[in-house]
Chain A
Amino acid sequence: MRHELFAADSLEPDDFRPVTVDGATVIVVRKYDGEFRALDDRCPHCGEPLSHGSLQRAVEGDDVGELRLSKRVELKCPGNGLRFDVDTGLGYADPDHAAVRVYPVTVEDGIVVMDR
């Protein structure tokens, strides 16, 4: 079902906002590049609202001492620190066992629209 959420320009890049959709809380993320994403606002591991956490760039590296910022963006849970990729909902450290549901989100005529 299509839901019109809020004006796109009311949320700055690198920020997020919880919204209530059909009685459920969803967190809408605006990535550093301006793209929007929407995810369930609940850590699948501890149940804490992800909207009480923080938005961070992912870190990558293939050998000791290699530390570089990824283009990926993650939500960090306030309860246990788990991070979830806002594109896929997958847990950064345990993608096989922890994932947050993601929803399609677009911007139409300056309005953020989510399908849920």
Chain B
Amino acid sequence: MTVSAETTTARGASQDTLLIDADVHEYMSSKRELLPYLDEYWQHFFKTHGFNPGGFVATDFPYGVPEGREWKAVDGGELYDLDTLRRELFGREEVSVGILGGFYHAGAMEASYEFAIATTAAYNDWQIEHWLDPEPRLRGSVHVVPHQPEIAAREIDRIAAHPQIVQVLLPAVTNRQYGDPQYRPIFEAAARNDLVVSLHHGTWTKTNFGYPRNFVEWWTLAAPGVAINQLTSLICNGVFDKFPTLKVVLPEAGVAWVPWFIWRMDESYLELKAEIPWVKRKPGDHMRESVRIGIHPLDGVTPEQLADLVEMTESERMFVFSTDYPHNEAGSAEALLAPLPAELRERIRYRNALETYPRLASLLDA
């Protein structure tokens, strides 16, 4: 489905006010919503194996989530209700197009791969029927089980047939590195279908030391840590050299580590390139060309500091707008973006996303 800039904004606004949100989470009321999308065997399995009826899968997340960081709609609406998202995201936040990243990430499961494969496929079909088909302002993800790369690639090909699918969602796991050539079928499938790969952390994501004693430690370290680890792996194992058109998006991983990472990786590469001769460009250049970072959370960086950070690292094309809806600690888009220089504000609002997601390019066709 092609949606023009004129028809995708809540206010029928022009391209100048496009606001593309790269990190939106949709919810199920219960995992039982997946039952109609499973075959007879897995329906039976689902009903007979005491599957966790809560909102999570594949995690023993040992923290209570503090007030203010829980997942809830500001107006108290149910998160599994599309109308809640319409009011909050397209209404209050004035987002034009939102990219769904899911909340149920069975691909992070460390065992029961067949079950994970069945439920991710069911989830993909459920996402299309419950969110994408009824709402043309939404775009979606292909959820896959990454540790079965060939099967993941087939699922990408299957779901990519839907025109509102714009990315592959890989769970940002901490115990396997996606640069390993075994995962290449996934990136190859994403590239041949004009899909971005989004790496999103979850409650299964741990720090280098596992789950720390406190939530504050986990929140500080887990997402940026796994982002840095996975980017290092992708760059050093030649994924961006192999797939030069591929884009990888990291929502909700923070932003303040980006200069450090670019500078340290470039310095390491200058000295140690002989170890990875298949990497033909400096890591910082790969970052600027192939990696996009969601601006939520900003890590305490002020908009003015973000502009300085962008200038220091020549990364004006790297950052994309994201709310992490329904995480509501992000603040309004207007407050975040208004202080930015006009060109950078436009880039973060929508232009970087349009240049990143091939399947969003049609938004400018209007």
What's the count of A-B pairs with C-beta under 8 Å? 44
* B237 A82 Cβ-Cβ under 8 A: no
Min C-beta distance of B143 to chain A, whole Å: 26
B278 / chain A contacts, CB cutoff of 8 Å: 61-64, 66
Specify the chain B residue showing the minimal Cβ separation from A63.
Answer: B278
Q: Can you report 8 residue pairs joining A to B where beta carbons are below 8 Å apart?
A: A45-B270, A58-B274, A60-B277, A63-B242, A64-B238, A66-B277, A92-B274, A94-B282
In the assembled complex, A81 has its CB within 8 A of some CB on chain B: yes
8 Å CB interface, B249-283 against A:
267, 269-278, 282
A30-69: CB near B (< 8 Å → 1, else 0) gives 0000000000000001000000000010111111111100
In the assembled complex, B77 has its CB within 8 A of some CB on chain A: no
* A80 B181 Cβ-Cβ under 8 A: no
Contact flag A80-B274 (CB < 8 Å), given A63-B238, A63-B242, A64-B181: no
* A59 B274 Cβ-Cβ under 8 A: yes
**Interface majority SS on A: helix, strand, loop or mixed?**
loop
A66 / chain B contacts, CB cutoff of 8 Å: 277-278
Interface size on A, residues (CB 8 A): 21
Min C-beta distance of A76 to chain B, whole Å: 9
Min C-beta distance of B265 to chain A, whole Å: 11
* B237 A93 Cβ-Cβ under 8 A: no
A83 / chain B contacts, CB cutoff of 8 Å: 273-274
A91 / chain B contacts, CB cutoff of 8 Å: 270
* A61 B271 Cβ-Cβ under 8 A: no
Could you tell me which A residues sit within 8 Å of B by CB distance? 45, 56, 58-67, 80-83, 91-94, 98
* A61 B277 Cβ-Cβ under 8 A: yes
- Beyond the given pairs A61-B276, A67-B277, 4 more chain A to chain B contacts, judged by CB atoms under 8 angstroms and listed by A's residue number, are A80-B271, A92-B274, A93-B273, A94-B270
Question: In the complex the two chains form, what is the Cα distance from A59 to B275 in whole Å?
Answer: 8
B273 / chain A contacts, CB cutoff of 8 Å: 83, 92-93
B181 / chain A contacts, CB cutoff of 8 Å: 64-65
Question: In the complex the two chains form, what is the Cα distance from A66 to B280 in whole Å?
Answer: 13
* B238 A93 Cβ-Cβ under 8 A: no
Question: In the complex the two chains form, what is the Cα distance from A80 to B276 in whole Å?
Answer: 17
B275 / chain A contacts, CB cutoff of 8 Å: 59
Question: In the complex the two chains form, what is the Cα distance from A92 to B272 in whole Å?
Answer: 10
A60 / chain B contacts, CB cutoff of 8 Å: 277
8 Å CB interface, B235-251 against A:
237-238, 242
A94 / chain B contacts, CB cutoff of 8 Å: 270, 282
8 Å CB interface, B96-113 against A:
none
Min C-beta distance of B183 to chain A, whole Å: 11
* B242 A93 Cβ-Cβ under 8 A: no
